[in-house]
Amino acid sequence: LVHLTINHIPVAVPKGTKIMQAAAKIHIDIPHLCYHEDQRIKAHCRLCSVEVTGRRRLYAACSTECWEGMEVHTDTPIVRNTQIAILQLMLANHNRDCLSCPRNQNCDLQHLVSRFNILRSPLPSVVRDTQRIVTNPSIVRDPSKCIRCGRCIRACKDVQGIAALTYAHRSSDIVVTTAYDKPMEATDCVLCGQCTLVCPTGAIVERDATQRVLRALQDKSKHVIVQVAPAVRVALGDAFGLGAGAIATGQMVTALKLLGFDKVFDTNFGADLTIMEEGYEFLDRLQHGGVLPMLTSCCPAWVTYMEKEYGSSLAHLSSAKSPMGMFGAVAKTYYAEKADIPAKDIVTVAIMPCTAKKAEAQRTGLGRGGQPDIDYVLTTRELIKLIKYVGLTFRDLPESPFDSPLGEATGAGAIFGATGGVMEAALRTVVEKATGKPLDAIEFTAVRGLEGIREASLDIAGRTVRVAVCHTLKNAAKLMAAVRSGTSPYDFIEVMACPGGCAGGGGQPIGTRRVVTAQRIASLYEIDRSLPRRKSHENPEIQKLYADALDAPLSSKAHNLLHTTYQA
Ligand code: HC0
Ligand code: SF4
């Protein structure tokens, strides 16, 4: 242990601990902006400067390791004046239209300016361009809000291995932009939103659809239904003081009903349906010499990555639509018929922990007659805004169940929101179908966890099947090298673009970090354990859907409705 004092309070910390974490141990939050707990430390904003007795320069608390006998001061006049000067410089180069900023009241810069009680800025504004860049369905950039902390750049490069965002120019002219200033979607960007999750201000945010959804809800001629992704229910509570990973399914359904949705359905139902199609597709490829390894196709950032980077390997992708896509297709056909409402009068909204889902919803393969199957996608963050707008005290809401017939789901559907969940859900159905025997040991723990790449071998009806699971596109690239060259040892690979899977999705609440994602994942497995049915093929509503309208998995009807194609 290393012994030091911070503001005269003694602390003992393991060797190698940074001043920032030592201070946190005694409940002192040292201000910071470029530092993010999941990222490489850059220490370039210098906002975390502290004084050390006997030393003439200031130290960055995020990057300086504690030493024996160190006396740290976080609140001396020099420290405070430095921090205020840094903030004032940032403010001079920051578009301060806070009142109409998407991150209003949820902005690190705003919090710090408030914390330091900076009432007026003595420096004249040098903000140049205040034009927001709106070129794709998912992500909006506002360079006038950028404080050049580089967190988005590191998320894109270090997590996804993509590097669509970069610094350009030098010194006071430095900006964060894309290569040649191209629109994001015209770069290697896959719209995953990991950059939006770490941005401390409103410089890079999801494209807001809340107003359009509110208008649909107020339109009496429309029947507005909503589906909610598996990972939203374990993240939404973050914004309402429920604690990381809190399971808020029942309150969430109540909130959506109070918002005016005519029916509240579950994407987990769509996930069960995906398992039927994708699971049977895998068995079919396995038994009839189809293209292997088969790659999962439910994560839209991953699908876009495949289309942009691995165009010659698209035959490996499962043709199954994502759960969101399948849900939308069923909603505008089967459900429309059952409910006796013309599809044109049904508006489907999807709540997703994801920004890429907004772009996925606009894919031409996900619609019929020129109309999209999913009309609007809101991120978890946007749902939080809507709940706040109507003034619901979320944590006190009673619980409500999902509506029928697209609201029943199994534990297999629930775990889709965790990395490894799609594979585990698929195996629960595939193994049972292939062997014809009921599967008792349904927890495939080898594919669980947060290792970047996990693998497992299992015997399916006399054949050894090798599967792999990975999260983040940086890890996917490692597996894809072998797929492209035809040397992959695997038969089936699950890829989710975001760290931890959708639980850590780019549309989740600001403040999402790896530790929080891990708690959400634990909750998803808890939901799975708590359900009476844990295999997708045992979902009675899915069985009824096949009996009523689709015949069987992979039937031509199922193919028409539930499968899609990809384009390099
Ligand atoms: Fe996911 Fe999904 S699990 S991508 O991570 O497969 O967004 O939560 O909704 O569609 O079900 C996200 C989450 C979904 C889909 C499902 C899949
Ligand atoms: Fe990079 Fe994802 Fe952001 Fe695109 S959306 S810039 S891929 S982190």
**Ligand 2 mutation target, pool 36, 38, 191, 473, most atoms within 8 A of CB:** 191
Picking from 497, 450, 463, 437, the residue whose alpha carbon sits closest to that of residue 292 is 463
Residue 232 Cα: closest atom of ligand 1 = 8
Residue type, position 410, single letter: T
Distance 453 CA to ligand 1 centre (A): 19
Q: Output the residue whose Cα is nearest ligand 1's atom 14.
A: 229
Would you say the C-alpha torsion 90, 92, 96, 102 has a positive or negative sign? negative
DSSP 238-301: GGGT--TT---HHHHHHHHHHTT-SEEEEHHHHHHHHHHHHHHHHHHHHHTT--SSEE----HH
Picking from 374, 386, 324, 326, the residue whose alpha carbon sits closest to that of residue 346 is 374
Q: pLDDT value at position 172? A: 85
> CB neighbours of 482 closer than 8 A, spacing ≥ 6?
488, 489
Residue written as tokens 């808020």? 248
Q: pLDDT value at position 129? A: 81
Residue 360 Cα: closest atom of ligand 1 = 10
Q: pLDDT value at position 23? A: 98
Q: Domains, the chain, ranges and CATH? A: 2-75 (3.10.20.740), 90-206 (3.30.70.20), 224-562 (3.40.950.10)
Which residues sit opposite 3 in a β-bridge? Answer: 12
Q: pLDDT value at position 487? A: 97
ipTM: 0.93
Q: Which long-range contacts (CB under 8 A, 24 or more apart) does 453-456 make?
A: 453/478, 453/479, 454/420, 455/490
Buried b / exposed e along 283-308 (16+ C-beta atoms within 10 A):
bebbeeeeebbbbbbbbbbbbbbbee
Q: Could you tell me if 431 and 458 are in contact, meaning their C-beta atoms sit under 8 angstroms apart?
A: yes
Distance 37 CA to ligand 2 centre (A): 19
Picking from 300, 299, 302, 282, the residue whose alpha carbon sits closest to that of residue 291 is 282
Q: Output the residue whose Cα is nearest ligand 2's atom 4.
A: 189
Q: Where are the alpha helices (DSSP H) in 531-555?
A: 540-545
Ligand 2 proximal residues by C-beta, below 6 Å: 139, 155-156, 160, 162, 164-165, 184, 189-195
> Could you tell me the mean pLDDT of each successive run of 10 residues in the chain, 568 residues long?
98 98 98 98 97 97 98 97 97 95 97 95 88 97 97 98 96 92 97 98 98 98 98 97 97 98 98 98 96 98 98 98 98 97 98 98 94 98 98 97 96 98 97 93 95 95 94 98 97 98 98 98 98 98 97 98 97
The SS3 of residue 395 is helix
Cis amide bond preceding 300, omega within 30: no
Does residue 420 line the site of ligand 1, with CB under 6 A? no
Distance 351 CA to ligand 1 centre (A): 10
What pTM, to 2 d.p., does this model score?
0.97
Gap between the Cα atoms of 269 and 346, Å rounded: 19
